[in-house]
Amino acid sequence: MTTLTPWPYPRWVAHRGAGKLAPENTLAAFRLGAAHGYRMFECDAKLSADGVVFLMHDATLERTTNGHGTGGDLPWQTLSQLDAGSWHSRTFAGEPLPTLRALAHFCLANGHHLNIEIKPTPGTEAATGAAVARLAAELWQGAPVPPLLSSFKPEALAAAQQVAPDMPRGLLVDTLWEGWLDKAKALGCAAVVANHSLWHTANVAQVHGAGLRCLSYTVNDPEAAEHLLALGTDGIITDRIDLFSAA
């Protein structure tokens, strides 16, 4: 019988810090998520032009900052001056883009867990995977629980695996493409993190049978959450920190 990989993480994970209640991927969002009782967060990490790992979802700056163009084309000095809060609401006006280092300090100081989604600017998959894993290994050195590194990009996970083989990895899938589970196994993943609508009894058994955990994103509906819990899945990433209790 296959043994499931150890899983030190809470079941509930706050997406981008606090879902939609605060500007995504800002420190203000993670603080708000924590104030709602969440003890694990998902964030999106990418590289600045000069190699600083910072948090932002989109490749381009327009939606969530007052900047323009591709975030990864700019040096951190320029990115650090942007307003990543005003787009959301006046309460968060002036909130800056954070570095992964700053979020790590917040999580480590409070004993919070983190899922770092490696979100490369297109064309930088391997470089981003390696840089995120290298930095995470440095920041979490000696910590009781390492962060979970995840990505939709196998190339990014392969680079992370090379740099920090012991750091847990999760393959993100939005569809069950040919060979998804074999790829997750080949990358030494501890989990498959799937669009929640993809899970059913048979593939949960298949993933668990391979010793991996089953996580879901982005679950905002109570019926969907109940279904995933009944299936025996292991983790739920949600925007609705105001609806679901993380306890």
Instruction: Give me the residues that bind ligand G3P (CB under 6 A), please.
Output: 15, 42, 44, 57, 117, 150, 172, 193, 217-218, 237
- Residue 200 a catalytic site member: no
Determine phi and psi for 114, rounding to 5 degrees: -135, 140
Closer residue to ligand G3P in complex, CB, 70/218: 218
Contact call for residues 133 and 159 (beta carbons, < 8 A) = yes
Closest distance of CB 2 from ligand G3P, Å? 25
Contact call for residues 64 and 84 (beta carbons, < 8 A) = yes
Residue nearest Mg ion, Cβ-based = 117
Is 24 an interacting residue with respect to Mg ion (CB under 5 A)? no
Which of ligand G3P, Mg ion, none has residue 151 at its interface (CB below 5 to 8 Å by kind)? none
SS (H, E, C) the chain: CCCCCCCCCCCEEECCCCCCCCCCCCHHHHHHHHHCCCCEEEEEEEECCCCCEEECCCCECCCCCCCCCEHHHCCHHHHCCCCCCCCCCHHHCCCCCCEHHHHHHHHHHHCCEEEEEECCCCCCHHHHHHHHHHHHHHHCCCCCCCCEEEECCHHHHHHHHHHCCCCCEEEEECCCCCCHHHHHHHCCCCEEEEEHHHCCHHHHHHHHHCCCEEEEECCCCHHHHHHHHHCCCCEEEECCCCCCCCC
Is 58 an interacting residue with respect to Mg ion (CB under 5 A)? no
Which of ligand G3P, Mg ion, none has residue 237 at its interface (CB below 5 to 8 Å by kind)? ligand G3P
Per CB under 5 A, which region of 25-33, 38-46, 179-187, 205-213 contacts Mg ion? 38-46
Closer residue to Mg ion in complex, CB, 28/237: 237
Is 83 an interacting residue with respect to Mg ion (CB under 5 A)? no
Which of ligand G3P, Mg ion, none has residue 150 at its interface (CB below 5 to 8 Å by kind)? ligand G3P
Which of ligand G3P, Mg ion, none has residue 24 at its interface (CB below 5 to 8 Å by kind)? none
Closer residue to Mg ion in complex, CB, 20/208: 20
Single out the catalytic residue among 36, 57, 105, 208. Answer: 57
- Residue 57 a catalytic site member: yes
Q: Exactly one of 4, 44, 124, 155 binds Mg ion (CB under 5 A); which one?
A: 44
Is 117 an interacting residue with respect to Mg ion (CB under 5 A)? yes
Half-sphere exposure of 109 (CA within 13 A, CB side): 9
Residue count, binding to Mg ion (CB under 5 A): 2
Instruction: With CA atoms as reference, report the closest residue to 18 among 37, 7, 32.
Output: 32
Which of ligand G3P, Mg ion, none has residue 172 at its interface (CB below 5 to 8 Å by kind)? ligand G3P
Question: Which residues of the shown chain bind Mg ion in the complex (CB under 5 A)?
Answer: 44, 117
Which residues are marked as active site? 15, 57
